[in-house]
Chain A
Amino acid sequence: MNNITPFKWIVFSLLLLSLGAVWIWVSSAPPGSTTQGDIPAPQKGFLAPDFELETLDHTVYKLSDLRGKPVLINFWASWCPPCRSEMPAIQNVYDEYRDQGFEVLAINSTHQDNLGDAITFAQIRQLTFPILLDRDGAVGNLYEIRSLPTSYFIDKKGIIQDVVIGGPMAEALLIIRAEQLFADTP
């Protein structure tokens, strides 16, 4: 440091910054090249992987049929305490926003759960959103679920805007994410 003169330092700095500027220009990305919206993957910024599941009364729901509506996908099981804790908040937010088109798909990890317990829980809590049954765990695998609950907030274009691993989710978080889903995609 003692041998460096201010002139030498200025020359070195300008050279380094010029190289940096050239690198920024060379590595610039054309519009859309860094967004992953066309590839299905269970990650923020990607297209939500499509699936088809039945409810308790055999109504079939296909995720891609809900395109145009904001969707919350919530993976849960009746034995999982945080899943049970966050269900009333999810129900409240569903009641608040369903008239605007907000959808909730509560996917029960049936292959890890007792179906009777899941049905009883949904009845006691008076859950009115669709409870889908992932009987063989295929949809859980598709979404690479490693912990329950896990929730995906999906916008009207089918893009995942947020992933929440673990819980329970606060009602404020649910309200804010629902509002953001309506605001982000016209």
Chain B
Amino acid sequence: MLPIIQVGPLALQVPGVILLVGLWLGLLLSERRARRIGDNPAELYNMVFIGLIAGVIGARLSYAITYPDAFSGNLQNLVSLNPGLLDPFAGALIGIAAVVIYMYRKSLPVWRTLDNLTPLFAVMAIAIGLSHLASGNAFGAPTVVPWGIHLWGSLRHPTQVYEIITASLILIAILIIDRTRWVETSGNIFLAFMSLMAISRLFIEAFRGDSILIANEFRLAQVVAWLILAACLGLFGWRVSLRKKDKETIG
């Protein structure tokens, strides 16, 4: 665990630094992919940064709307650097909405663009695992396994390490799949990534010590991951049947 690095008078928040490095590396990989298939990488950069800026502004405004009394006394609070004053769910929705609008205005093909962004998503999944390891968040349940780590008063499953390992394997798998005939159909890389991430979350969440429970016993993240997996498999199946029909029509 290393949440802070002191560089002279500056206290660097390591999880944040890791996420920024992940964003940079992920964008580099996505840029390479876009160039390889003949797309304009500048569109990717613009889209990601518009999404991020809209997401951060939206997250702060949503928080201010939720707690107007706390902000009304001093509007400087709106530009405070405290990440605790952000609504991550609303920020994600607004960021995605901004990206969708950008794609629509630039007439970018949805599945092809998502495929181009997949290396970025895969690298960010590793970066999130590393940031959890640095902060001690997303910790595991108490255990007696020999590879357990001492954290927060107990020997625990190193769920952050599980996260990093599975996300790294998924990145490698995506890079391999990207060189096969699977890429002939746009969207396959993205759907493969989402399916693999959902499977890994289904598996790892079972070892977490901080799961949110629903119906008093089921882990919410597993249920969400299962639904995402079902949606991805359904989309795959639908596309397989469409291709088959197309072939029959042509035949």
Contact = CB atoms under 8 A, between A and B. Distances in A.
Contacts of A36: 152-153, 209-210
Contacts of B136: 43
A6 B85 contact: no
Contacts of B230: 13, 17
B229 A16 contact: yes
A58 interface: no
Interface string A6-38: 100110110011001101111111110110100
Contacts of B223: 24
Interface in B46-80: 64, 67, 69-71, 73-74, 76-77, 80
B244 interface: yes
A162 B210 CA distance: 14
Interface string A149-186: 00000000000001011100111110111010000000
B115 interface: no
A45 B213 CA distance: 14
Contact of A169 (B82, B205, B218, B240): B82
A10 B236 CA distance: 10
A20 B231 CA distance: 13
A172 B80 contact: yes
A1 B203 contact: no
A2 B213 contact: no
A4 interface: yes
Given A2-B181, A6-B240, A29 B219 contact: yes
A1 B67 CA distance: 50
Number of contact residues on B: which range applies? 35 or more
A31 B219 CA distance: 11
A172 B219 contact: no
Number of contact residues on A: which range applies? 35 or more
Contact of A41 (B152, B211, B222): B152
A170 B77 contact: yes
Q: Which of A10, A23, A162, A170 counts the most B-chain CB atoms under 10 A from its CB?
A: A170
Interface stretch (B3-11, B22-30, B98-106, B167-175): B3-11
Where chain B touches its partner, the secondary structure class is helix
Interface string B206-223: 101111010011110011
B118 interface: no
Interface in B1-19: 3-4, 6, 11, 13
Nearest to A33: B141
A173 B225 CA distance: 32
Contacts of A165: 3-4, 11, 13
Contacts of A176: 67, 70, 85
Given A170-B85, A173-B80, A31 B213 contact: yes
Contact of A17 (B182, B211, B226): B226
A31 B213 CA distance: 8
A39 interface: yes
Nearest to A9: B237
Identify the 4 closest CB pairs spanning chains A and B, nearest first. A27-B206, A170-B80, A172-B77, A41-B152
23 contacts: A5-B244, A6-B237, A13-B233, A16-B233, A20-B199, A23-B202, A24-B226, A25-B218, A28-B219, A29-B213, A34-B219, A36-B209, A39-B154, A43-B152, A46-B153, A147-B4, A162-B84, A165-B13, A172-B73, A173-B80, A173-B85, A175-B69, A176-B70
